[in-house]
Structure 1
Amino acid sequence: MLLCRVSTVSQALARWGRRSQRGGGLFHRALSFSSGRCHGVGSGEGSTQPAAAASTGTLYRDTVLLPRTEFPMKLSGQKLLDREVQIQQECGFAELYSWQRERKAKKEFCLHDGPPYANGDPHVGHALNKILKDIRNRFEMLRGRQVHYIPGWDCHGLPIELKALGDLGSSGLSPLQIRQKAREFAEGAIARQKAAFQRWGVMADWDQCYYTFDGAYEAAQLKVFQEMHSKGFIYQDYKPVFWSPSSRTALAEAELEYNPEHVSRAIYATFPLVTLPPKISVSVLVWTTQPWTIPTNQAVYGCNKAMNCNLSALSTHSPATLEGGICKHPTVPDKQVPLLPANHVTMAKGTGLVHTAPAHGMEDYSVASQFKLSVECMVDEDGKFTELAGPELQNLSVMTEGTDKVISMLKESGALLMEERCVHSYPYDWRTKQPVVIRPSKQWFINTASLKDKAKESLQKVRILPESARSSLLAMLDRRTYWCISRQRSWGVPIPVFYHKETGDPLINKHTVSHIAKLFKEKGSDCWWELPIETLLPSEALQKVSGPVSDYVRGEDVLDIWFDSGASWAAVLEESDSRADAYVEGKDQIGGWFQSSLLTSVAVRNKAPYKSLVVHGFAVSEKGEKMSKSLGNVVDPDEVINGGKDPGVPAYGADVLRWWVAESNVFSEVQIGPTALNSARDSISKLRNTLKFLLGNLQGFDPRLQAVDPKQMHYIDQYMLHLLREYSIKVTDAYSEFDAGRAIRVLQAFITRDLSSFYFSIIKDRLYCDPEDSLGRRSCQTVLEEILDGVTRSMAPILPHLAEEVYLHAPGHDKEETLFKSGWIKSSSVWRRPGLEEAVEGACAIRDSFLSSIPGKNAAQYDLTIAIEPGLLFELMESLQEEPTSTSSQLAELMMAARVTLTSELPRDLHPDALLGHGTFLINLEGGVIREDSPYDIAVVPTSGVRCPRCRRYTSESADCLCPRCQTVVSQAH
């Protein structure tokens, strides 16, 4: 007889209730498991009223196996922050890097960390860079590789020196005092940045970082310097360089910022011709945007086209006509300058004739060398005219009052024809934001012209992401003919050179450099100032020169910080001939660290230091603007994690920051603000919802003891393992390509389409209402555990805190085990079985036809008849339902109908209100060897069954009585 709602049954169910409530909180908001929607549960795996909680079924609630888990649906505010820190401690985030370095691994993955500058607090640019690297490192570690990643800091240079000195300036301080203050400042910045990187979950041995001010690092750097010097790549010369009066030091191209809004006072000035070429009896007209350089003029050059300017020209002449002429200098009495040809003069602006000051122009200098002109410098280190410029100009700043005075002198001599305001791009010191000048000085250079071809050749073997960055890298190389590597400061690595007191000749050889390198390794580079010269200069270094040690003084220049950081491959990578698998930095490093590393490595080893380059964009505001305090749009990563002083700025935690990085298109500018962060938080919240559903339905399940062999599983469960395998391949490929954004899209598609909208909506009845230890339920749980495991591992590189939190609640492993010590997604080729896809996907095609015939209706209220002619499709459907008609077959479960009848043709006595449908399904087996386009027909009628008060399926014979399946379950419990 059917079990109805009588008192004897109530007693039995009460016992069931006591048993089911043990071991964790009960989900009081589990999904209805008979929704009948193909789109099903969406992202809300725990959001609707349980079927068994309906008023007619309250009696049976405790017999339903609803999800139970202590994993919280939501964490926010201080609870979220405390939980993340607790996860880091419990799961050994601090020891993880050392652990994986000690384990045996067949392959190593080396990501060489470009050193951030130790001159300020951590910012979102740091977050973008460090988290992007960490995602890849964690992925590589999970899949069994031994990760080599040593974080570093760029610690020398002018910005640190200036910030350390503050308002004190350097006057009255010794180099050692300046260096001590700079070191303290850098160490403070390093401590703040390091703490932030750790809080973001970046995996590293934070006690074993590299610092460019460390003695061992400096020694390795000097070894690179010595090898490049011995090969002739490093030399000393007197030539024009970019000079920053505001910093009082030479600058390299990479240390310049070009201001497109710079305003110059451009002039047209006449140079009277003294020795007249044939047919000419007037002055020549020149144009310049830097009038202050007129006093240093040595010649006038003509371009290779006829003169053509906006002035009314009396006549035009070719360079050949002008060559050989002599001009009178307009401001220097009795000085005459020649007229010469030059290829670098263009017709873009001006008159086609350019006054030339070899001391203050790169192209001018190269032509001056050809014609042996004087390279006379009249500008000092402060950017002021020296006494060589004459009493009227001496001590005047060339860019301001010096320019005023020169223009005034041109007026007085009658040489000024016209003055105009010229807005153009002009180089500025990237640290002080002040204009630079070009002036000659004796500096140390790297001859990059001789390295270019080798560098370009080595880049052909380097993979660059995005590929479009390659052209920028090559263009930057082309623009750099030489690299000035000496700086006139105290905070840096001293160039190991000695100068003769009388002649000024430099003394540098392998003996001096290797000796200094050894001292630096033992004592640090402060010893350059601390030790007597007798200790610094070894006697064997003097063998080829005359005179004692006392004839020499130590040099005062330090190395460019781009040389500092560019030699990091020699100091950090373990083997001298090794190359990093990847360098990952922002696009500003195309002309910086990427290039300096390439040039030094090619010079010493004839190869690039990296196998691949990943070039990411900058973090910008939500409006796409560059962040600045003045605009008030700076996003502080500390506030992102911990919340701001304003109650409207919530605490998002570290995983939201990591998700923002992963989800972004890092190869362009990356926007950050409330919209992006709220979106990231919502995405993680939906993910938590799915994870909670999975965990809740695995309560009491131990895969080590209760897992079902795939061959015994329901077909749809086997099919989900097949989809999980495909998912794992896609997500692995995405991480391998440095494309965490694609990994997220693959993850979200899998959860939304394959799980929430499909699988979860189908299996809830089996999960909640079948006997607890039944094969069907255990089959489903086996798959849910595999899905939970795969999803958790696949998101772990991006969300390590959430992944470890899930793993703490997940079944199937020892309590002390952590996810990151247990490997990558485990998928098996056994999961892919011939015919499996076709069986389930064929059924899904029929299901789509069924659901589209009853739009907006509950599929559970209908009986479905499927008619297929004998053939492959019929055989596949028969594998899902052996009997002709069933309410409990795998086919009925997939269709989510009350009853499914499988037949070879539709019956003739169909109900007059039956809804009819038709479709075809293409079967493709064995790589196309077997292909069959199979038609099918369907008929849909309202079911005659009554809703079961326990499972709410329309499979009961009468009202308020249990269906046969539920009757059996409750009877067994009783």
Structure 2
Amino acid sequence: MCADTTDTNTIDYKDTLALPQTDFPMRAGLPKREPGWLERWEKIDVYGTLREKAKTETRKPFTLHDGPPYANGHLHIGHALNKVLKDFIVRSQQMLGRDARYIPGWDCHGLPIEWKIEEQYRKKGRNKDEVDVVDFRQECRKFAEGWIDVQRKEFKRLGITGNWDDPYLTMNFHAERVIAEEFQKFLMNGTLYQGSKPVMWSPVEKTALAEAEIEYHDHKSHTIWVPFSVVSGGALSDSRVVIWTTTPWTIPSNKAVAYGPGIAYGLYEVTGTPEESWVSVGDTYILADKLAGDVLTKARLEDGQFTRVRDVTADELAGLTLAHPFRGVEDGEGYWDYDVPMIDGDHVTDDAGTGFVHTAPSHGQEDYECFLTRNWLDRMTHNVGEDSEFLPHVPLFAGLRVFDHKGKEGKANTAVIDKLVSVGGLIARGRMSHSYPHSWRSKAPVIFRNTPQWFASIDRAVGDGQDDNGTTIRERALTCIDQVKWTPQAGRNRLYSMMEARPDWVLSRQRAWGVPLTVFTKKDTLPTDPDFLLRNEEVNARICEAFEAEGADAWYAEGAKQRFLGNLVNANDYDQVFDVLDVWFDSGSTHAFVLRDREDGSEDGIADLYLEGTDQHRGWFHSSMLQSVGTTGHAPYRGVLTHGFTLDAKGNKMSKSVGNTIAPEDVTKQYGADILRLWVAQSDYTADLRIGPEILKGVADSYRRLRNTMRYLLGAVSHFTEDQRVAPSDMPELEQYVLHRLSELDDVVRKGYDAYDFQGVFQQVFNFCTLELSAFYFDIRKDALYCDGDTLRRRAARTVMDALFHRLTTWLAPILTFTMEEVWLERFPGDDSSVHLQDIPASPADWQNADLSAKWQAVRRARRAVTAALEVQRTNKVIGASLEAAPTVYVSDPAMLANLQSVAFEDICITSDITLVEGTGPEDAARMAEVPEIAVVFHKAEGEKCQRCWKILPDVGTHDHPATCARCDAALD
């Protein structure tokens, strides 16, 4: 015993402990603090500094090309998901040693903005058509500029890095010049043509729409069964061919009836009728056998009231000539007194309907193609105008609309049906709900309408056709798709199948706000004439020079035609086209004026990655591929990544009317942007993502646990200096094992970021922090950190903590952008300091130690068995803490025993002592099924409690410092 008789109860050794020191707060306060970091990053110009730094280093460029959002409203949660994913990639690639460039962009032209300006006009009682087109376009430009500023602030609030001071805009003068220039390449390489064919037409917006601008919703349509009388057909001359359609308004434009060559048809006779029926006894109808019973039942006939007379062959059908149902109709002015041929069509099936297809080539793609292959395009009709109204030349129905200006059903359908009833042209009618195309902007139903439009042919040879990837746009696109890395791979199949089946690209829109089709057509010349299009390089150059200086408004200025054509060709011989380009052509051309033309674009004009939602397989990915292969012969991207859509917590689509939307602004105000970013990182973005209050609470809980880990680290490395650093070879095995795990995890993180597996990266790092650091390494080493003096063990632990700090902050900085900056600045304050100026540090090769790792995995297994046994004693209130225990541990595996004997196993288990014994142990020993070689017999620790480290040891009280153990006594000296 020591001679000091001081009362040990009066001594407080707390002040002698090396407790963690940090001002890093437990509560994050992100909503209030994040804006300050944004201001700081802007002040020190983090993005610009990295670009300058790249000029002095050998860094491989990495370009993520931004798919431009539309500049017409506040951000929704889908925008946030998209931009945060992009930011993860840009930041992680930068910290992996690349020169990661990101130029944000905006889609500025197009119908939605025009629509907003027109709405403002209507409220003021103004007529858009009376406004000068340049003035109108200027209002559209101003509207877009306003929303760009709003969205830029909202994106930056989410911590998105990029060249925000100089984004790309499709309405910038240079962009408009390049878009026109890219269009002119189609003009000059022979793929541009004007054609009259059915396109998706919005009666509400009064313009053609591309497939990418269409979405499908349930719609209730009329259904009618219409008999066409056979006027020439031998033995079948008195019979009638029955068609079925859900678009009665197209009957006045019928020009043929199609049959399927492989379908079995029969002649059916009516033998009886109910009291009310539109058929008569003796009527004969030709129908597909598979559908005949259903059709005649719809005509109110019952079993026994019709009979099958005989087969009708395909050859017989091919020889039939039919009469239009309105042939000879009163006041019809002979408009429908033409013969209706029967034609074969592979698109005809007997899955539904009658087995025959009413064919109106001006109002259906397959109908049109049937006429195109027969060279019958001169039989096309132009019966329906831009308001979906029957034009004045159509008898009986002139002026009647299919849909009104709000997208509601007009009078056209019912008028046609009523007239069919009056002439005996129906055998049945009904209503059905089915999926129907709608404009994704106005949400109103569309129609197929034959109009003159401008197209890019995807099956004509491009120029001279000399290209390694194919001679046509379709061939090139299909080849290039397989040269791209798709994430997930299913995206390849989706775009490939779309590209295989797609029709020619409709380039023209009948609107005002956009880049015009910079083309002139020769007067009194047919579109099929070789001289119809003016192809003149000097004219093209004049147009482009004007657009560069003045923007596309130059096309609409007074005297523009003379300005562009004067002294080159006779301007009076040509008409100027005033349609504007499909906005998908605008965004599809961005690779040219961003990647190719900008100094901070891509060195070869090709992006390393395009990243958007899965809907962009038919949108931006699609149009960009078409545009690029048409002008350059190759894809504009080396990789494509797609993400799913955002849903509410129950998996429902978000809707303002339902009230289940979550705005990014609301999340940042309540939790902070880092919580929103962490939600993205924790989600599987390849599928649809759910978000809601409870989900965000769970994310916030994960954040708090991670924040506590970083807070502990900051305290542990406070005042750590280089002269305290220990070489790995001199460290205790536990520290060497942690360095090995760091090296392993570093490889996982790097590969994960390169594979864009953010969920995998975060989960691995989070599990490491919670399971291997907080619950294992930190738990074990806090005793050495707090209680050791200047020992090798303590210095080694702090050296490892320093390595942990640098890796965790840089690993997590791409995800938790704000928080890791806060952690970094807590340790490395300074005017120019930022974690986002760092790279992920390399892990030295000598950290790898597979043999040591295997040993420590076994030690950890044994530790779990001991801590599980002690937890039972704690639950039973036999002990309050594990330091009150000194168990005997039986080990049946000699190799395991040797491992445990070579380490301070009592420190690993955080007990005051442990006795290791070879053997299986008594029957009543505590065992864990997962570790069968370990048996634990509980004993209380013997001795007194050290008032400094709280271990219970026999030597406590025998040293110079009262009530301390030998280790603490030495530390105090």
The interval holding the TM-score normalised by the smaller chain is: 0.7 to 0.9
2:119 — aligned with what?
A: 166
Counterpart Cα distance in 2 of 1:815 and 1:215: 38
Q: Is structure 2 residue 965 aligned with structure 1 residue 949?
A: no
Native 8 Å contact 2:200 2:449 kept in 1: yes
Contact 2:62 2:100 (8 Å CA) reproduced: yes
Match of 2:271 in 1: none
Question: Residue 395 in 1 paired to residue 417 in 2?
Answer: no
Aligned counterpart for 1:184 among listed residues 142, 150, 159: 142
Deviation at 1:558, TM superposition (A): 0.7
Distance 2:710 2:969 in 1: 32
d(CA) in 2 for partners of 1:177, 1:559: 19
Q: Does 1:788 align with 2:805?
A: yes
Residue 804 of structure 1 aligns with which residue? 821
Q: Is the 8 A contact 2:96 2:750 kept in 1?
A: no
SS at match of 1:241: strand
Q: Kindly tell me: are residues 385 and 62 of structure 1, through their superposed partners in 2, closer, same or farther at Cα, counting changes over 3 Å?
A: same
Q: 2:31·2:668 contact (CA, 8 Å) conserved in 1?
A: no
Alignment of 1:486-505 (within 5 A): 486-503=508-525, 505=532
Distance 1:730 1:278, change over 3 A: same
**Partner Cα separation in structure 1 for residue 353 and residue 854 of structure 2:** 76
Kept after mapping to 1: 8 A contact 2:244/2:358: yes
Deviates more, 1:554-563 or 1:706-715: 706-715
**How does 1:463-474 map onto structure 2 within 5 Å?**
463-474=485-496
In the TM superposition, 1:83-102 aligns within 5 A as: 83-85=36-38, 88=41, 92-93=45-46, 95=48, 98-99=51-52, 102=55
Structure 1 residue 860 displacement after superposition: 2.7
Distance 2:734 2:625 in 1: 54
Partner of 2:582: 560
Deviations 1:152-206 (A, max 9, x none): 1111111111112224152311211221111111111111111111111111111
Aligned partner of 1:419 in structure 2 is 429
CA–CA separation in structure 2 for the residues paired with 1:956 and 1:482: 90
Return the offset for 1:73: 0.8
In the superposition, relative to structure 1, how do residues 426 and 246 fare at CA in structure 2: closer, same or farther (>3 Å)?
Answer: same
Question: What is the correspondence of 1:735-750 to structure 2 with a 5 Å cutoff?
Answer: 735-750=753-768
Correspondence 1:207-606 to 2 at 5 A: 207-259=165-217, 261-304=218-261, 305=263, 306=265, 307-308=287-288, 309=292, 310=294, 311=296, 312=306, 314-315=308-309, 316-333=311-328, 334-373=337-376, 374-390=379-395, 392-399=396-403, 400-449=410-459, 450-503=472-525, 505-530=532-557, 532-533=559-560, 536-538=563-565, 542=569, 548-574=570-596, 577-606=604-633
Displacement after TM superposition at 1:690 (Å): 1.1
Alignment match of 2:79 (pick from 111, 126, 141): 126
Amino acid aligned to 1:444: W
**What's the CA shift for 1:875?**
6.4
**Deviations, residues 22-47 of structure 1 (Å, cap 9, x unaligned):** xxxxxxxxxxxxxxxxxxxxxxxxxx
Aligned counterpart, 2:23: 70
In the alignment, what sits opposite 1:962? 964
**In structure 1, C-alpha distance between the alignment counterparts of 2:775 and 2:256, rounded to whole Å:** 79
For residues 617 and 793 of structure 1, the distance between their equivalents in structure 2, rounded to whole angstroms, comes to: 27
Alpha carbons 2:608, 2:638 under 8 Å: kept: yes
Residues 318-337 of structure 1 deviation map (CA, whole Å, 9 limit, x = unaligned)? 33112222222222433332
TM-score (norm 2): 0.85
Aligned to 2:884: 861
d(CA) in 2 for partners of 1:370, 1:589 = 32
Q: Which residue of 1 aligns with 2:912?
A: 898
Distance 2:892 2:423 in 1: 107
Displacement of 1:641 after TM fit?
A: 0.9
Displacement after TM superposition at 1:528 (Å): 0.6
| CA shift digits 1:39-58 (9 cap, x unpaired) | xxxxxxxxxxxxxxxxx586
Percent of aligned positions that are identical: 35
The equivalent residue for 1:685 is 704
Aligned equivalents of 1:868 and 1:679: distance in 2?
A: 41
* Alpha-carbon distance change, 509 to 428 in structure 1, aligned in 2, over 3 angstroms: farther
The 1:173/1:313 distance shift into structure 2, 3 A limit, reads farther
Change (3 A) 1:242 1:837: closer
Report how far residue 284 of structure 1 moved: 2.3
CA apart distance, 1:942:
3.4
Deviations along 1:182-238, whole A, 9 cap, x unmatched? 111111111111111111111111111111111211222233222233332222112
Residue 68 of structure 1: SS of its match in structure 2?
A: coil
- Residue 413 of structure 1 aligns to which amino acid in structure 2? V
AA aligned opposite 2:746 = S
Displacement after TM superposition at 1:716 (Å): 0.7
CA–CA distance in 2 between the matches of 1:550 and 1:556?
Answer: 16
Q: For 1:900-940, what per-residue CA distance to the aligned partner results, in whole angstroms no more than 9, with x for missing partners? A: 5678x689xx9x99969899999xxxxxxxxxxxx888876
Structure 1 alignment gaps of length 5 or more = 10-55, 543-547, 643-650, 881-889, 923-934
Which residue does the alignment assign to 1:648?
none
C-alpha separation in 1, matches of 2:622 and 2:770: 44
Contact 1:105 1:144 in 2 (8 A): no
| Closer, same or farther: CA 571–949 of 1 in aligned 2, 3 Å | same
Match status 1:819 vs 2:835: yes
Structure 2 residue 701 is matched with structure 1 residue 673: no
Quote the Cα distance in structure 2 between the aligned partners of 1:78 and 1:580: 35
Write the letter of the residue equivalent to 2:515. Answer: V
SS in 1 for 2:14: helix
Q: Which amino acid aligns with 1:398?
A: V
SS at match of 2:953: coil
1:140 aligns with 2:93: yes
CA distance in 1: counterparts of 2:381 and 2:937, whole angstroms: 99
Question: Secondary structure of 2:622's match?
Answer: helix
Distance 1:166 1:862, change over 3 A: same
Structure-2 separation of matches of 1:573 and 1:109? 11
State the Cα distance separating 1:389 from its structure 2 match: 0.9
Cα distance between partner residues in 1 of 2:559 and 2:539:
14
* Shift in alpha-carbon separation, 1:534–1:338, aligned structure 2, 3 A: closer
For residue 927 of structure 1, what is the aligned residue in structure 2? none
Separation (CA, whole Å) in 1 of partners of 2:965 and 2:571: 105
Deviations 1:95-148 (A, max 9, x none): 455445545233111111101111111111110000000011100111211012
1:709 aligns with 2:727: yes
Q: Give, in angstroms, the shift of residue 69 of structure 1.
A: 0.7
**Contact 2:31/2:671 (8 A) holds in 1:** no
Equivalents in 2 of 1:870, 1:551: separation in Å? 99
Partner residue, 1:885: none
Is 1:2 aligned to 2:2, yes or no? yes
Aligned residue pairs total 881
Q: Residues 314 and 841 of structure 1: is their aligned pair in 2 closer, same or farther, counting only changes over 3 Å? A: closer
Indicate how the Cα distance of structure 1 residues 294 and 872 shifts in structure 2: closer, same or farther if over 3 A, else same: closer
CA gap 1:671/1:78 in 2 versus in 1, 3 angstroms = closer
Q: Deviations along 1:791-828, whole A, 9 cap, x unmatched?
A: 111111001111111011226x8774321112114321
User: Deviation of residue 581 (structure 1)?
Assistant: 1.3
Residue 583 of structure 1 aligns to a residue whose secondary structure is strand
Task: Determine the structure 2 residue equivalent to 1:727.
Answer: 745
Residues 717 and 798 in structure 2, CA contact (< 8 A), matched pair in contact too: yes
SS at match of 2:119: helix
**Worse overlay, 307-316 or 102-111:** 307-316
SS at match of 1:564: helix
Give the SS at the match of 2:164. coil
CA RMSD in angstroms, aligned pairs only: 2.9
1 CA distance for matches of 2:734 and 2:199? 72
Q: 1:714 to 1:958 in 2, by over 3 A?
A: closer
| Contact 2:87–2:161 (Cα < 8 Å) also in 1 | yes
Kindly provide the amino acid, as one letter, of the partner of residue 894 in structure 1: I
**Deviation of 1:264 (Å):** 1.6
CA deviations 1:263-307 (Å, max 9, x no partner) are: 221211222222232354223222222111222222222222123
SS in 1 for 2:944: coil
* Aligned-pair CA distance for 1:853: 4.6
Could you tell me which residue of structure 2 aligns to residue 26 of structure 1? none
